[in-house]
A and B are shown apart, each in its own frame.
Chain A
């Protein structure tokens, strides 16, 4: 499909890279808020072709990584509840909670099922009417519609043994919290393409309007990211912060109203605990009262106490862009993808894992 390969075209990439190098932007720190971008930037080698004056930072854009140990411990406790089968996306399994991961729980004989989609979790609930199927829902705005659709389907089909434990979060409150902390200098933001396909590019207007920070919504191909970076540099140079959408083949200003409508029908906002940030108000999605029957937190009496973080893990600071993974003492030694101490090394989208795979040596 030419429309896909065209955005990987090396000739076109070269011309944008040359344009970037001709710019007189000076030192600039550009942050992405999306784990997919973290990986794409490393995989395409974009960092290595950037002028030294351009710093690429990663923000809290990996939902697995920002999940707090308290929430993970809740999933572990649910998995050990008699009659319950926990279903979740594969990314979550190896993340160490305070005491154990879902993978370790599964090794002890508790049913923990990896699903590709909430559709599979629904199917499991239909096939096993004597089991309680709980979907441990993590993710940002891109993933929330799939959880909402599953709840609406479960209600339509009259499924009584399907529920959701939601630890889903919203990216905008996360981005706002990071900026409010003021620990890192952010001169420009690469806006998350797929999150924006749901919430719309207009959702990011607060960056130029309230913070004077240019933002370019980007796709995941090399050309998308190069063009977004170039646009940010130009806006920074000209001191004209605005919103540019370089991913308009997918992202509309208003987003996907139908998908977000489903999310709003099923979920409401609540405070949520983020790794590295603590509690962020109105940043989490919880089931509305009228869907209480599908809310695992209401259906099962789970209490989790004494959640704790690994003392050596600095994922929290990595997620805030305060340190790079190399600055963590256990990076690549005590903490590797094979035996991770923190989620940023577990998730394929985590900054630590990306650095480990693509930039293990300090340049």
Chain B
């Protein structure tokens, strides 16, 4: 098996699974329970929070655990909207956000909020000037992803943060789901107010994620109930998955320190091998992209969904750029926004690497890709 779909989900580290099993087995109590076992679960939660906060260089009370990235993105956007709607009802985001940002924005539009969707350039990057021009007196939130999930473009988060530091009434949310452990970002220095992270993108387990909420920012809770997570996110905490997330993050950041050069080199080798294939076009920008995502478009006549299945036969797992395009013919929002044309946007394929991928995989995978293109072209022509 050659697994090249790490931006969809990563394989959990074995140590992470061990932690999950140990916690779920031995410390299964409800962390809110008064008795000693409950207290142990609570301590585990506190320790996970501290460890994660230290790694993100923020304070423990700035971490709100959620069920994952989608919930954290929804919470950031709707939480700001409900809390600050008297301050203003204008939100700025981009045309290339993940659906878990785009959809809540659309829902808010139905409720009378105004949303500006900023365009991106040919490389898939939003410009700081455009953010500045879109800002208004009633702008309460700017939400920009850190690393684009489809093509890997790194957005100018630090620059936007510097701009927004002059607009204290406008909060800054960053969806960092694809960026963490691959592209460094200092939340405090970048002036980020809210930041989304999801465990299963760095070899943790799905069902756990978090929202960084800078001290001083108030959010209306989406999930009300027993008042867990300082009233911000009720629901019995998923202690085992959260502890596993803390461990996964530690291991992933260690891997970053050790292997980022290797991953970058691996991506370059991949790019070189793909560029040598005549019938595909690379969509990921050469500079300013994350070290783990490569996006390319297939030649006309090769359907990306069919291509994915064809590769699967050789035990190679890749993605079409848009997860929901398997049934309806939906062009990639990001590739469209980059101005690559509807046709190219409908034929995007994403390869996403992790620190576990190796260069030995490149040759057989590339051979299989070539073969698949050949086979499918013959069928359709």
Partners in one complex: no
